[in-house]
Structure 1
């Protein structure tokens, strides 16, 4: 089984022009839906996974453009989790086959695996939020599964996956994620590719189709490095993090001691 894993489109129908603050990175940004179209057309895969932050501002018209692109160029099953930039009620207006109105937790079975989409997002809260009830729901879904589990969520769950803070989770959930029933834990949010096996489980972050952000001591640096991932899951797990474009334009450097992002 080959998974095509994309995330963090941060799509806007019209990007603002500004020289101040975080939004200034969008002055020269490439259209993430054009990138998505090329990826969908030029890759062979069995299932598409989307790791959240589909839209920058969570507007209905942006979700409609995203869904139109997926419907036109993707011809395989797909699953979505939501990110901290997404607005759930607007998302549900476009993705009308989805009945949930609150947290977007859901499951699906495909081939030999149970996929669990685990919503770690709260709009406007960068670090995400997982309640005790959320954690217990996930623990129960894993415990009750007769198949190996693949988890799709937005925020990274372990501190060492990225220099930014991971979402807070209980030790009980951490240990559950590392048991032999959990094959993969996939996340977006960091805009930075990562892969490491801990005990039985592969923790994999994909990059972003919009921009990359990484810190250098007291600075946050934005560049146009954009990645997606293909994950082959058979007897072994093979991960490819694929750079969409090779030229590294530096968008913006923020002093973390002064900037409020």
Structure 2
């Protein structure tokens, strides 16, 4: 099985006019749809894709119409391929349920387990709109433990948005990351994949493969004292599931890294 991971689209049908700060940076950014198109085209040229996973921040600010647009976009781009998502801190649960799922709005965590022939996909929602580092409660940890304990006949691929390693990136990890790892280490985990940092990363934690995909919008480079240098940055990751192992077969950047703007994030 070949799996395409996309992340951090930060899509908005129209970015807000601004004269400084983060919003001005977004105005200078090329439309993420351009690079989404390019990433999908490049991935399809390399292999037949059996599954698409999107690891959060589908939208910039969670508009219902933006979710509806993206759902239609992916239905057309992958008419015969499952497209499964988790949510990020820029996503609004109520609007996602309404726009993407065409369902009754709710603030419930968007969690699920999807069974495939050789593994389970577990989508674990770490998002709280407006909390950049994410947040999960005891109920989420209990749900994770319950799902893993009742799905032990196949390995589990865990998909979430926030990164779970302290020194992986300048921005903090999920505050409850250690509690999550304590649970994961007790089960047969195929891999953990996530997004949030917009920067590719891979390692192994207690024998568990761990992958973070590039985003499809921008990349913030920490310069200290609250200053962040933003560049245009987009990429994708491809994996192959074979003989019970998940291996990354390509992680490709599809932008030139054009400078956008420096922003004092303390003022945002």
- Picking from 44, 48, 54, the partner of 2:58 is 54
RMSD: 1.9
User: Residues of 1 paired with 2:124 and 2:103: CA distance?
Assistant: 15
Give the deviation of 1:164 after TM superposition: 1.0
- Picking from 179, 183, 188, the partner of 1:176 is 183
Deviation per CA, 1:169-209, whole angstroms, max 9, x where unpaired?
A: 26443133234501111111111111101122111111111
Contact 1:33–1:69 (Cα < 8 Å) also in 2: no
Q: Does 1:120 align with 2:126?
A: yes
Structure 1 pair 19–170 and aligned structure 2 pair: CA distance change class (3 A): closer
The more displaced of 202-211 and 235-244 is 235-244
User: Residues of 2 paired with 1:34 and 1:248: CA distance?
Assistant: 15
User: Residues of 1 paired with 2:123 and 2:116: CA distance?
Assistant: 13
Q: Does 1:111 align with 2:117?
A: yes
- 2:258: which partner in 1? 249
User: Residues of 2 paired with 1:98 and 1:139: CA distance?
Assistant: 27
Contact 2:120–2:157 (Cα < 8 Å) also in 1: yes
- Picking from 205, 225, 231, the partner of 1:223 is 231
User: Residues of 1 paired with 2:190 and 2:103: CA distance?
Assistant: 26
Contact 2:215–2:236 (Cα < 8 Å) also in 1: yes
Contact 2:148–2:187 (Cα < 8 Å) also in 1: no
Structure 1 pair 95–254 and aligned structure 2 pair: CA distance change class (3 A): closer
Contact 1:179–1:201 (Cα < 8 Å) also in 2: no
Helix, strand or coil at the partner of 1:160: coil
User: Residues of 2 paired with 1:214 and 1:111: CA distance?
Assistant: 40
User: Residues of 1 paired with 2:163 and 2:147: CA distance?
Assistant: 19
Give the deviation of 1:128 after TM superposition: 0.5
Deviation per CA, 1:122-145, whole angstroms, max 9, x where unpaired?
A: 111101101111012112211221
- 1:5: which partner in 2? 5
Aligned length: 258
Q: Does 1:71 align with 2:49?
A: no
The more displaced of 31-40 and 67-76 is 31-40
The more displaced of 227-236 and 198-207 is 227-236
Contact 2:38–2:254 (Cα < 8 Å) also in 1: no
Structure 1 pair 31–234 and aligned structure 2 pair: CA distance change class (3 A): same
- 1:238: which partner in 2? 247
User: Residues of 1 paired with 2:71 and 2:61: CA distance?
Assistant: 16
The more displaced of 115-124 and 167-176 is 167-176
- 1:200: which partner in 2? 207
User: Residues of 2 paired with 1:183 and 1:99: CA distance?
Assistant: 33
TM-score, normalisation: structure 1: 0.92
Helix, strand or coil at the partner of 1:18: coil
User: Residues of 2 paired with 1:155 and 1:213: CA distance?
Assistant: 15
Deviation per CA, 1:66-85, whole angstroms, max 9, x where unpaired?
A: 11110111130121101111
- 2:35: which partner in 1? 35
- 2:157: which partner in 1? 150
